[in-house]
Amino acid sequence: MLDENHQRIECRIKGHFRTKGIKTTNPIAIGDHVRFQLQPNENIGVIEHIYERKNYIIRKATKLSKLSHIIASNLDQAIVIVTLAHPRTSTGFIDRFLVTAEAYHIPACIIFNKIDLYQEKLWDLHRNIKSMYEDIGYPCLEISVKTETNIDQVEKLLGQKTTLFAGHSGVGKSALINKLEADINIKIGNISDYHQKGKHTTTFAEMHELSNGGFIVDTPGIKEFGLIDFKIEEVAERFPEMRKYMHECRFNNCTHVHEPGCGVIKALQAGEISLSRYENYLNIISDDYFNEKQYQ
Ligand code: GDP
Ligand code: ZN
């Protein structure tokens, strides 16, 4: 834990903490704000209270488990780092990330890295994809960690905020974090989530403090914060551009696939919704997750 002077204090937990509405495997998570009491003659604190979380992202402890694991809390924004160079991030990956962020009501941004590798053709593709996301309302940055292009814009974006970083392996997430740390003289050492040792070795998130007052929560990948207790009819609500047209659907449980009088399909045909996003929507709703749920 960090105290009011930004000193790192090791803390223990006293008693039981419950999270309203869900059963969790970890009482305390990365990003929690707590009240703790420093023990006399010891450099150890005892956590007495967890302040109400503004938001939190969770995953199920196991696929069919009723227990959830809180990955991080009190996030101001979520950023997915992607690249159209190598290894190329699919829009399917991006859309799953955005849907998850929407589900948690966390503002999302996209950072396109490795633009130093873009050739003319890739720039064309990039411009199309970027404007598609900007039109929906997601801010986009284009950067190169290698040539240090627009790193200052990333710094600006992170100042005073707690930001979740996601991205699949190889996009340059670590390189970016190292660049940010070196540039702004980040404090040495991480504030790591030591509770995740042992039973839950697959989940690992770390929090880094930035000297501009921001915090980065680094997660290993989108799979770690999957959708929980999501109904199939709710998925379209997580696509802001579909949400706009849903009220025009004839049926209020419309899945926007084959139903007559569907406002979303009408908007798709009119070019108001991009085919790429719609296809990724179809992909998400055909997930095993929903198919298994239907038979429960
Ligand atoms: P992570 O798995 O997302 O953490 O990716 P890394 O930070 O380990 O980077 C993966 C590879 O991409 C490394 O070889 C980096 O040197 C390289 N890389 C990262 N950023 C850039 C960039 O902006 N341009 C280029 N050309 N390579 C980059
Ligand atoms: Zn519909």
DSSP 8-33: B-EEEE-S----TTSEES-SS-BT--
In the numeric block, the tokens 């004839």 are attached to: 250
- pLDDT at position 296 is 44
Is the CB of 292 inside a 6 Å radius of any atom of ligand 1? no
Q: In which residue ranges of the chain is pLDDT below 50?
A: 184-202, 222, 224, 295-296
- pLDDT at position 98 is 94
Residue 263 Cα to ligand 2 middle (Å): 5
Question: Quick one: tokens of 83?
Answer: 């690249």
Q: Is 105 exposed, middle or buried (0-12, 13-18, 19+ CB in 10 A)?
A: exposed
Is the CB of 148 inside a 6 Å radius of any atom of ligand 1? no
CATH superfamily label, 56-218: P-loop containing nucleotide triphosphate hydrolases (3.40.50.300)
- Give the tens place of pLDDT for each residue, 92-144: 999 999 998 999 899 999 999 999 999 999 999 999 999 999 999 999 999 99
Is the CB of 113 inside a 6 Å radius of any atom of ligand 1? yes
Domain with CATH 1.10.40.50 in the chain: 232-293
- pLDDT at position 133 is 98
The phi and psi torsions of 80 (rounded to 5 degrees) equal -105, 130
CATH superfamily label, 232-293: Probable gtpase engc; domain 3 (1.10.40.50)
Contacts of 226 (CB under 8 A, 6+ apart): 59, 60, 100, 289
The answer to whether 245 touches 266, Cβ cutoff 8 Å, is: yes
Domain with CATH 3.40.50.300 in the chain: 56-218
- pLDDT at position 220 is 63
Give the residue, out of 116, 144, 146, 179, with the most ligand 1 atoms within 8 A of its beta carbon, to mutate for a pocket test. 146
CA distance 130 to 281: 18
Residue 223 Cα to ligand 1 middle (Å): 21
The phi and psi torsions of 215 (rounded to 5 degrees) equal -130, 140
Question: Quick one: which ligand is closest to 169's CA?
Answer: 1
